[in-house]
């Protein structure tokens, strides 16, 4: 059975018919050709399918698409603005915080949420917050360095320079 839903994806409204049993991940990839969210484990444990739903990291492989109606959905494709990478994306590139990059969109979106909650996290706070994101290549040290740098870049970009908590 299909249901008509209005989804707000990366700032744009979309009315679409979705199968009631399809996940947000399936709809983002099949209907909207947004391939940044990826299926890794299929059970919400790896973070590869992470999107931000009303600003919070969400496993899109677990959420039925119809339940995302009325929520703001941000995918990695919507993070850059006016053709310019977000400071978090710049930090990940600067630190080579990826190898295969399969997990990178999920890490970047989770980092965005972390920095909105805590603009100056410690290394320990970063590890705790990103614990739901797995990197099979083992790039955790570089990811942590990138997140620390991203925090500084975001604070400088926003003109908000708090000290570490």
Give the model's pLDDT for residue 164. 45
Does residue 10 surpass a pLDDT of 60?
yes
The sign of the CA dihedral 133, 18, 55, 77 is positive
Q: Cα(112)–Cα(118) distance, rounded to whole angstroms?
A: 10
Residues 6+ away with beta carbon under 8 Å from 15? 4, 5, 6
How much is the CA Rg of the chain, to the nearest whole Å? 16
Give the model's pLDDT for residue 165. 42
Q: Cα(81)–Cα(84) distance, rounded to whole angstroms?
A: 5
Question: Angle, nearest 10°, between helix axes 87-94 and 140-158?
Answer: 140
Alpha carbon 133 to chain centroid, angstroms: 10
Give tens-digit pLDDT for 133-155: 999 999 999 999 999 999 999 99
Domains identified in the chain and CATH numbers: 2-77 (3.10.20.30), 87-158 (1.10.150.120)
In what side-by-side order are the strands of the sheet with 12-19? 12-19, 2-9, 72-74, 50-53, 56-59
- Predicted structure pTM score: 0.93
Q: Cα(76)–Cα(34) distance, rounded to whole angstroms?
A: 9
Give tens-digit pLDDT for 53-85: 999 999 999 999 999 999 999 999 999 999 999
Give the model's pLDDT for residue 158. 80
Give the model's pLDDT for residue 70. 95
Give the model's pLDDT for residue 161. 54
Alpha carbon 113 to chain centroid, angstroms: 8
């Amino acid at each position: 059975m299909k249901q008509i839903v209005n989804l707000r994806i990366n700032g744009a409204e979309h009315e679409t018919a979705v199968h009631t049993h399809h996940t947000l991940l399936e709809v983002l990839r099949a209907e909207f050709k947004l391939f940044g969210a990826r299926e890794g484990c299929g059970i919400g444990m790896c973070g590869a399918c992470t999107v931000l739903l009303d600003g919070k990291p969400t496993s899109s492989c677990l959420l039925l698409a119809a339940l995302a109606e009325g929520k703001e959905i941000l995918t990695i494709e919507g993070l850059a603005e006016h053709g310019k990478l977000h400071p978090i994306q710049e930090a990940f590139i600067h630190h080579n915080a990826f190898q295969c990059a399969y997990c990178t969109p999920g890490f970047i979106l989770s980092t965005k949420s972390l920095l909105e909650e805590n603009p100056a996290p410690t290394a320990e706070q970063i590890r705790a917050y990103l614990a739901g994101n797995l990197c099979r290549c083992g790039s955790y040290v570089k990811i942590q360095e990138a997140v620390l740098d991203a925090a500084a870049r975001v604070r400088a970009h926003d003109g908000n320079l708090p000290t570490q908590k």
